[in-house]
């Protein structure tokens, strides 16, 4: 609403980034370009008062008189002045904060609804007292002259604005006088000011705020004048209008990909709980992507690790509330969604390149009961020739659920199992928890004894080891903010690896999870465990099912570091694996934070064997693509509960296209690995895994692009079709890269699926038959043994004859699939290395090949070559969309036999070309 957009800088609304600001003179005058807004405000005010008077007359006088300024604010623009939960907000409570009170109809169950207590337009805020130019932007001083209502208001704030790049703006607000906790995350440091930014920035001086615009369209992307800035020691709040309702990100939560702005609140505080709508889940990602009208996109990242909540409202508007740290914002201007995510990862870091085998199929369950039973499952998979790259074990392999041990009775053959896996080109992954058993006789359990001796566990405020309870019973929690803990973690892993030479690690329970609230002694009184304001966390307490917020760590108090716990453990684990194996690490973590992709992948937690859980996995994996963690997937067929054959078949089809594909099951439920089902279901599962394995070269290349420049692997449709508004809410389909459309069945008892096919020509992956779409919903046949896959016109996909392991697949010939565009062109690429060595791209130990089609000529161009690629051959070329039957085909000028089908598919087989050998193929 315009009344919120008053800018009180005299003589001009705009302070551009080109020059320094003069100190303000005459605070309080309305800038000339906002006079029109004032006239509009007056008109709205008159009409609002008229409506209000009529309402009073209709219900009878008298009633408490409401200030006209309160009536001015439409419901959708009411920013909550009393966000505390479990409080009946009365007029007296509200007005004690200086806010407006208007009762509204009660909201639907589970909704917050219109706030009854909201800020008036003139609520006191900070004043921008000065603003001066710096080498990178500006520095300003903010002063609050009237106290707000949370304790320890910070009266003077420092504002730093850095125009870091033409598409990235950095705005930081912190205490001007005293240092505060800041997230220990490595971020790039700008060295010069952006020369041609695609954004402009305005300031409101008296009642401070910023207004950020996109230059090309004039679109207002941020306007923080809509509500007051509050910056107290343990309550920081800033609000903004949004240019549209199409907002994504802000994890980790379970729900649709597109967030509702209908009075919803998203809480960020890592918590161990089965994924449930509206709950704060395992990770914290204070980043959102917003689609603007016309297809532009921008992103906002708040670099803050404290407990926080983000409130959305239908204005549309957004409020950040956090209870510590500083307000450290990065804004990414895109202008398209793919570029926004790349720019975000330029700040938090690009994801690590996974080993090739990590992209194969993984199998696990809690409750195998023994290494022999685990081994039997592996043998059954081999017997049916079902692809599998990795076998996992859950906590039942351990002795008494203690880390770095294995049950010498039930898992006596575990070392032999691991050796057998290696002989068959397979890999072993095991689980680890950060809770270290503390109840063993002194001297009998080295991990605890040594950790205690070195002082490597979380402590209470009294300096004693904090004791909680997890699977082994009473436990201490490793302090991964301490670099000495990383060394201790490495030594523990080295000792265990000498007995069980694992290949990857699964780090669970690292929110950290605690079966107690706080500790065995509870938590002490004080404002860390009982802060003045507690965000809407599950359990209504920061210590609910985790450790005390007051617990002390090397880097800071747990109050500040809680959301970083999983990230810090992943960093220690990845580094340890590199030192132990000398190869790329494979780590899957439950708790995550921005930059996690540099060290681990993620699985979506303890889901259920239900159809809706299968659906929710798609927005889950797409959200983590936005967060820079491309190696992500859900437990295929569901973790808890028992699956059905139909559900598991459909889920295996979907899960075969998770970037990280693992079937995982809990104890005391029937088995759900592919071998236990009927021949028909088993065959359907095997075939879709073979399809995945055939696409591994394409998938691996996508991960290379993610590692190199921050491309997404699994991708929402709107990333490729941002101007198609139909795609903005789609989360039952997704793309691999820009060109492979996956349309799974997500409902029981059906033999067809309706999916959206964006405008253009799309080809059936299996047959090459084409479909021309104007951008429409299409009903597709989907019997139980079929997953719909379509290739976008203009793409070239490198595929490979599949084997039952990624290692076997890598030795097979390549088949290049060309999907011609309407102009008979196509493009694709392939990245190839040894699949496991560290930093192959950085060291030049790789091959990179570009494929291109124009004017009926296919060319393969080697841009970089290595010895690994000499062992790979290109066997077949399949070209979809060849409209006329060729009379002949020439390979490097020599005629070659070919086949041509009525559905316009040209196939040339038996090429036998080395991948390192450039070539051309022409059809006439």
Model confidence at 869, pLDDT cuts 50, 70, 90, reads confident
Task: Indicate the burial class of 588 (C-beta count within 10 angstroms; 0-12, 13-18, 19 or more).
Answer: buried
| E-state strands within 793-904 | 795-800, 814-819, 826-832, 847-854, 857-864, 873-880, 889-891, 894-896, 899-900
CA dihedral 520→525→531→536, nearest 10 degrees, is: 40
Instruction: Give the Å distances, CA to CA, from 43 to 2, 7, 50, 72, 381.
Output: 12, 19, 11, 10, 74
Mean pLDDT, range 260-266, rounded to an integer: 97
What is the structure's pLDDT at 623? 98
317-351 pLDDT per residue, tens: 999 999 999 999 999 999 999 999 999 999 999 99
- Given a cut of 80, whether residue 258 has pLDDT beyond it is yes
Beta bridge partners of 816: 798, 877
CA angle 429, 431, 432 (to 5 degrees): 130
- Given a cut of 80, whether residue 33 has pLDDT beyond it is no
Mean pLDDT, range 782-798, rounded to an integer: 98
Of 389, 508, 673, 720, which residue is the catalytic one?
Answer: 508
Cα separation, 423 vs 379, in Å, equals 13
Q: Let me know: does 805 contact 389? Beta carbons within 8 Å.
A: yes
Cα separation, 232 vs 229, in Å, equals 10
Other CB atoms within a 10 A radius of the CB of residue 651 amount to: 28
Q: Let me know: does 660 contact 686? Beta carbons within 8 Å.
A: no
Model confidence at 108, pLDDT cuts 50, 70, 90, reads confident
The per-residue DSSP string of 312-330 comes to: EETTTEEEEEESSS-EEEE
- Given a cut of 70, whether residue 49 has pLDDT beyond it is no
572-614 pLDDT per residue, tens: 999 999 999 999 999 999 999 999 999 999 999 999 999 999 9
Mean pLDDT, range 65-84, rounded to an integer: 94
867: CB partners within 8 A, 6+ apart: none
Cα separation, 895 vs 688, in Å, equals 35
201-250 pLDDT per residue, tens: 999 999 999 999 999 999 999 999 999 999 999 999 999 999 999 999 99
What is the structure's pLDDT at 497? 98
Helix axes 483-497, 565-581, angle to 10 degrees: 50
Question: Which SS3 state, helix, strand or coil, does residue 321 take?
Answer: strand
The enclosing H or E element of 617 equals helix 611-626
What is the structure's pLDDT at 838? 98
The whole-angstrom distance between residue 774's C-alpha and the CA centroid of its chain comes to: 31
Residue with tokens 């009344």, as numbered in its chain: 3
Whole-prediction pTM: 0.93
Cα separation, 864 vs 859, in Å, equals 15
What is the structure's pLDDT at 720? 98
Residue with tokens 């690590």, as numbered in its chain: 352
162-193 pLDDT per residue, tens: 999 999 999 999 999 999 999 999 999 999 99
Paired tokens of 91: 């007029």
Question: Which SS3 state, helix, strand or coil, does residue 362 take?
Answer: strand
Of 511, 793, 807, 868, which residue is the catalytic one?
Answer: 511
What is the structure's pLDDT at 110? 62
Cα separation, 209 vs 257, in Å, equals 30
Model confidence at 106, pLDDT cuts 50, 70, 90, reads confident
Model confidence at 20, pLDDT cuts 50, 70, 90, reads very low
Question: Which SS3 state, helix, strand or coil, does residue 569 take?
Answer: helix
Other CB atoms within a 10 A radius of the CB of residue 67 amount to: 10
Q: How many Cα atoms within 13 Å fall on the side-chain side of residue 824?
A: 11
873-892 pLDDT per residue, tens: 999 999 999 999 999 999 99
Q: Rg for the chain (alpha carbons), in Å? A: 29
Other CB atoms within a 10 A radius of the CB of residue 444 amount to: 8
What is the structure's pLDDT at 105? 86
833-867 pLDDT per residue, tens: 999 999 999 999 999 999 999 999 999 999 999 98
Paired tokens of 917: 């050998």
Paired tokens of 18: 């080109």
Bridging pattern class, strands 137-144 and 504-507: unpaired
User: Mean of the per-residue pLDDT values for the chain?
Assistant: 93
Provide the residue count of the chain.
924
Does residue 511 have an active-site annotation?
yes
The backbone torsions φ and ψ at residue 453, rounded to the nearest 5 degrees and listed phi first, read -60, -35
Percent of the chain with pLDDT over 90: 91
CA nearest 597: which of 571, 619, 579, 622? 571
Cα separation, 457 vs 447, in Å, equals 11
47: CB partners within 8 A, 6+ apart: none
Question: Which SS3 state, helix, strand or coil, does residue 495 take?
Answer: helix
Does residue 503 have an active-site annotation?
no
Cα separation, 228 vs 223, in Å, equals 11
Instruction: Give the Å distances, CA to CA, from 554 to 289, 434, 445, 459.
Output: 34, 16, 24, 10
């Amino acid at each position: 609403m315009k009344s919120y957009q008053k800018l009180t800088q005299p003589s001009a609304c705009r302070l551009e980034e080109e020059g320094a600001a003069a100190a303000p003179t005459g605070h309080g005058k309305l800038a000339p370009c906002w006079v029109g807004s004032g006239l509009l405000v007056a008109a709205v005010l008159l009409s609002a008062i008229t409506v209000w008077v009529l309402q009073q007359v209709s219900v009878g006088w008298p009633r408490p008189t409401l200030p006209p300024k309160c009536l001015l604010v439409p419901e959708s623009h009411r920013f909550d002045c009393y966000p505390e939960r479990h409080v009946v907000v009365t007029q007296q409570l509200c007005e004690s904060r200086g806010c407006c009170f208007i009762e509204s109809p009660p909201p639907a169950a589970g909704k917050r609804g219109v706030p009854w207590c909201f800020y008036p337009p003139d609520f006191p805020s900070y004043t921008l007292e000065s603003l001066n130019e710096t080498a990178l932007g500006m520095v300003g001083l903010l002063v609050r002259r009237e106290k707000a209502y949370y304790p320890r208001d910070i009266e003077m704030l420092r504002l730093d604005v850095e125009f870091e790049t033409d598409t990235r703006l950095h705005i930081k607000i912190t205490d001007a006088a005293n240092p505060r906790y800041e997230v220990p995350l490595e971020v790039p440091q700008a060295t010069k000011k952006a020369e041609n930014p695609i954004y402009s920035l305005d300031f409101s001086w008296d009642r401070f705020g910023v207004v950020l615009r996109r230059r090309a369209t004039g679109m207002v992307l941020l306007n923080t004048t809509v509500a007051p800035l509050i910056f107290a020691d343990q309550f920081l709040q800033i609000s903004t209008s949004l240019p549209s309702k199409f907002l994504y990100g802000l994890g980790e939560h379970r729900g649709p990909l597109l967030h509702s702005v209908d009075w919803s609140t998203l809480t960020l505080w890592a918590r161990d709980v089965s994924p449930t709508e509206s709950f704060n889940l395992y990770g914290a990602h204070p980043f959102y992507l917003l689609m603007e009208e016309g297809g532009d996109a921008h992103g906002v990242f708040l670099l803050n690790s404290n407990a926080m909540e983000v409130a959305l409202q239908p204005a549309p508007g957004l409020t950040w509330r956090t209870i510590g740290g500083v307000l450290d914002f990065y804004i990414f201007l895109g202008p398209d969604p793919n570029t926004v995510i790349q720019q975000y990862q330029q700040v938090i870091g690009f994801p690590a390149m996974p080993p090739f085998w990590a992209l194969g199929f993984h199998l696990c369950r809690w409750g195998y009961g023994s290494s022999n039973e685990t081994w039997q499952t592996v043998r059954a998979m081999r017997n049916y020739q079902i692809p599998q790259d990795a076998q996992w074990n859950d906590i039942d392999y351990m002795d008494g659920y203690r880390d770095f041990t294995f049950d010498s009775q039930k898992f006596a053959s575990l070392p032999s199992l691991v050796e057998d896996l290696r002989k068959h080109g397979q890999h072993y992954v095991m689980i680890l928890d950060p809770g270290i058993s503390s109840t063993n006789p002194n001297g009998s359990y080295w991990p605890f004894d040594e950790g205690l001796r070195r002082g490597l566990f979380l402590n209470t405020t009294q300096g004693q080891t904090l004791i909680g309870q997890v699977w082994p019973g009473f436990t201490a929690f490793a302090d991964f903010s301490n670099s000495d803990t990383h060394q201790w973690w490495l030594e523990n892993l080295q000792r265990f690896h000498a007995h069980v030479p694992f290949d990857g690690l699964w780090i669970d329970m690292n929110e950290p999870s605690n079966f107690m609230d706080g500790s065995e002694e509870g938590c002490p009184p004080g404002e860390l465990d009982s802060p003045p304001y507690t965000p809407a966390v599950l359990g209504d307490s920061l210590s609910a099912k985790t450790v005390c917020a007051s617990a002390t760590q090397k880097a800071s108090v747990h109050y500040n570091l809680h959301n970083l716990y999983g990230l810090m453990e992943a960093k220690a684990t990845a580094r340890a694996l590199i030192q132990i194996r000398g190869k790329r690490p494979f780590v899957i973590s439950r708790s995550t934070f921005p930059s996690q992709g540099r060290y681990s992948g993620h699985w979506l937690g303890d889901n259920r064997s239900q159809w809706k859980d299968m659906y929710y996995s798609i927005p889950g994996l797409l959200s983590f693509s936005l967060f820079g963690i491309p190696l992500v997937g859900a437990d295929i067929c569901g973790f808890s509960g028992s699956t059905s054959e139909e559900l598991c078949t459909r889920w295996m089809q979907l899960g075969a296209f998770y970037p990280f594909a693992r079937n995982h099951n809990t104890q005391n439920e029937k088995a759900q690995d592919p071998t236990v089902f009927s021949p028909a279901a088993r065959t359907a599962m095997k075939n879709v895994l073979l399809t995945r394995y055939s696409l591994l070269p394409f998938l691996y290349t996508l991960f290379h692009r993610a590692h190199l420049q921050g491309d997404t692997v699994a991708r929402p449709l709107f990333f490729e079709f941002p101007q198609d508004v139909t795609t903005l809410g789609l989360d039952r389909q997704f793309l691999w890269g820009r060109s492979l459309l996956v349309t799974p069945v997500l409902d029981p008892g059906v033999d067809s699926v309706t999916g959206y096919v964006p405008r253009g020509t799309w080809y059936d992956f299996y047959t090459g038959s084409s479909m021309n779409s104007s951008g429409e919903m299409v009903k597709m046949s989907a019997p139980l043994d079929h997953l719909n896959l379509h290739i976008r016109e203009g793409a070239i996909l490198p595929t490979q004859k599949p084997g039952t392991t990624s290692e076997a697949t890598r030795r097979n010939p390549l088949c290049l699939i060309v999907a011609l565009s309407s102009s008979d062109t196509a493009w694709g690429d392939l990245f190839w290395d040894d699949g496991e060595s560290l930093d192959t791209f950085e060291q030049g130990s790789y091959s990179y090949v570009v494929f291109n089609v124009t004017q009926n000529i296919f060319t393969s161009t080697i841009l970089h070559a290595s010895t690994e690629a000499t062992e790979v051959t290109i066997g077949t070329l399949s070209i979809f969309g060849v409209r006329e039957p060729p009379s002949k085909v020439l390979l490097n000028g020599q005629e070659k036999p070919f086949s041509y089908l009525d559905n316009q598919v040209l196939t040339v087989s038996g090429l036998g070309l080395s991948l390192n050998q450039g070539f051309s193929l022409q059809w006439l």
